[in-house]
A and B are shown apart, each in its own frame.
Chain A
Amino acid sequence: MSNYIVFLTLSAATYAIFGLGLNLQWGYTGLVNFGHVAFMTVGAYTTVLLSLQGVPLWIAAPIGGTLAAFLGLLIGLTTLRLREDYLGIVTIGVSELVRITIQSDKFTPITGGVGGIQRYELPLNFAPAVPSYLTKLGFIGLFAAVMGLASWRLWVWGRKNMNKMWQAALGIVSFFIIYICGAISLYNYDDRAGLMLLTVTTLAIIYVGLERLINSPWGRVLKAIREDEEVPKALGKNVFWYKLQALMLGGGIAGIAGAFYAWQITSLYPSNFEPLLTFNAWTIVSLGGAGNNVGVILGAVVFWAYDTVTRLDWIKSLPFSSDQVGAFRIMIIGLILMVIMLWRPQGLLGNKDELTLGK
């Protein structure tokens, strides 16, 4: 049980970071990025390749994020002056370009090509040694602090919107369950539990930072660009520069998510970075509500809860072959998306009033 929860939390947190990057670009700035996985690929490969050269992980991962942001700069400088749908097309192309470059024969000596990279350093991995009691207690304490803060913020939010109190309560209960399971796993330490702690902490830091940014005058300009970029332009804002910043910051965040993704899957192949990941990020952002960072985190949790539940043993009792089940799982995601678009186009946490407003 606690292993499942740790896996679920780890996956959801990684995808939540990934989705937060897309949400900054699409949800807040209105940039159509259909190649989000490109940033993740750059982040993942940079981190792993640098760590193979002996660069410490805590330096390698930020460099991965920086290079991903740099990719955003390249894409932005060449395409942001175009209309938004063209950006969408170019970004799909770039994401495939990055993946195919990595798996090409020319770069196989560096990237491992199709064969991938199997053995690389993982963070907070003490094996075969065991961390001391004090270290483990520290980890459990840090985890308590992060989950406690998240619960507290939910509580404050629930107090402000009394009609949403039960949602806040549900969130707090799930945080508590995650905490208990996480704490047990941290006590019986393995590197998965350590990675989960690291991912959740990073997610919390990125979330808080983004919220601060989004609610600042800087964030207001981004939202204005999303609504109608002519207006900020007429009011003296350098729209191109703001879009570039959003693309780079969102890309950098996706690059960091890439590092965590690489550590989670423990062996790296180009096939891990198919366009499906971009689609998953869009699912998560639309599911939770574009332009809502809490919604993105909730979307990631729902997405992975669905994924985990449909991988459990009960599925074998259904009269379908495993191939059919695999196809069904993806079809049902599509179906859920369609239903949401029809009945709750603003996503789980979005504000319906906002969407019904005309331009």
Chain B
Amino acid sequence: MTDLLRAENLCKSFGSIKAVNQASITVPAGSITGLIGPNGAGKTTFFNLLSNFIVPDQGQVMFNGQPIQQLPPHRIARLGMVRTFQVAKALSRLSVLENMLLGAQDQIGEKMWQAWMPQVAKDQKQLKEKAMTILTDIGMDHKAADFAGGLSGGQRKLLEMGRALMSDPKLILLDEPAAGVNPRLIDDICGHIQRWRKDGMSFLVIEHNMDVIMSLCDRVWVLAEGSNLVDGPPAKVQNDPQVLEAYLGS
């Protein structure tokens, strides 16, 4: 498999604290790759560096064979790498459907001078159909007209994934998709992720829930104190003495 995303030697310091120190990762195309590590290991910061929400001090990020560490976050998203957030960000005062529609790329009418054009209505109608298909898929079609601010934590996670899906991404970065979600819904979320992978999408997943990591991931990378500890298939990583030590302390 070719590497869809390859990050090498990323570093980021906040003052004297090295949050991420020489961390690397590769995500092969079509894979579900896991990123785990104890709290404070720098996983979320690492995500922010990959998507350039925080500019790395040094290091290189290649996406789909193109260097992206110089690009602003929205350009990276347009290339097909979309992220979600650890605390799911629903746009409260927009409806669930509007949240979904925001995800679509290259919409006619997103430019001010195109907003009056008659084609906008037709384009929006198609996008609404697409959004409803995805919402039905994730079991949220009955919520389409509600304000997103009224959703539960788990539904917000689902909405974020659906919204990311609207942009037809190549790679979705999921930051703790199962955190604070009830076990039933976790199973649903895992099922959706596996199905979307079959449709050709790749995932990079931060997660603390080991069951989720074990059942989803092809390969797991462990981060501790901002640096790579080990990486390998989930079963191997789970029993690695170094990983156990990092989690449990010595």
Q: Give me the interface of A with B, judged by CB distance under 8 Å.
A: 212-213, 216-221, 223-224, 226-228, 230-239, 245, 249, 291, 353-354, 357-359
Q: Which of B25-33, B107-115, B192-200 contacts A (4 or more CB under 8 A)?
A: B107-115
Q: Give me the interface of B with A, judged by CB distance under 8 Å.
A: 51, 53, 72-75, 77-78, 82-85, 89, 91-94, 98, 101-103, 105, 107-112, 114-116, 120, 124, 147, 149-150, 163-164, 167
Is B102 within 8 A of A231, CB to CB? yes
Which residue on chain A has the smallest CB distance to residue B75? A236
Is A216 within 8 A of B93, CB to CB? no
Write 28 A-B pairs (CB below 8 A) sorted by A numbering. A212-B115, A213-B115, A213-B116, A217-B110, A217-B115, A217-B120, A217-B124, A218-B110, A219-B115, A227-B91, A227-B93, A228-B91, A231-B89, A231-B102, A231-B163, A233-B74, A234-B53, A234-B83, A234-B85, A235-B103, A236-B77, A236-B78, A236-B82, A236-B105, A237-B110, A238-B74, A357-B92, A357-B147
Instruction: Given A212-B115, A228-B91, A231-B163, output 8 extra A-B contacts at Cβ < 8 Å.
Output: A217-B101, A217-B124, A218-B110, A221-B110, A231-B85, A236-B75, A291-B93, A358-B92
Is A221 within 8 A of B92, CB to CB? no
Partner of B91, one of A218, A231, A233: A231
CB contacts between A and B, total, < 8 Å: 104
Q: Bound state CA distance, A230 and B85, in angstroms?
A: 9
Partner of B102, one of A213, A224, A291: A224
Is A220 within 8 A of B74, CB to CB? no
Residues of A within 8 A of B85 (CB): 230-231, 234
Is A224 within 8 A of B91, CB to CB? yes
Q: Bound state CA distance, A218 and B114, in angstroms?
A: 9
Q: Bound state CA distance, A237 and B91, in angstroms?
A: 15
Is A235 within 8 A of B112, CB to CB? no
Is B109 within 8 A of A216, CB to CB? yes
Residues of A within 8 A of B101 (CB): 217, 220
Task: Give chain A's interface secondary structure class.
Answer: helix
Is A224 within 8 A of B163, CB to CB? no
Which residue on chain B has the smallest CB distance to residue A351? B93
Is A227 within 8 A of B110, CB to CB? no
Residues of B within 8 A of A235 (CB): 74, 77, 82, 102-103, 163-164, 167
Q: A239-B74, A358-B149 are in contact. Are A227 and B92 (CB under 8 A)?
A: yes
Q: How far is the CB of B17 from chain A (nearest CB, A)?
A: 22
Is B147 within 8 A of A354, CB to CB? yes
Q: Bound state CA distance, A289 and B78, in angstroms?
A: 35
Residues of A within 8 A of B111 (CB): 218
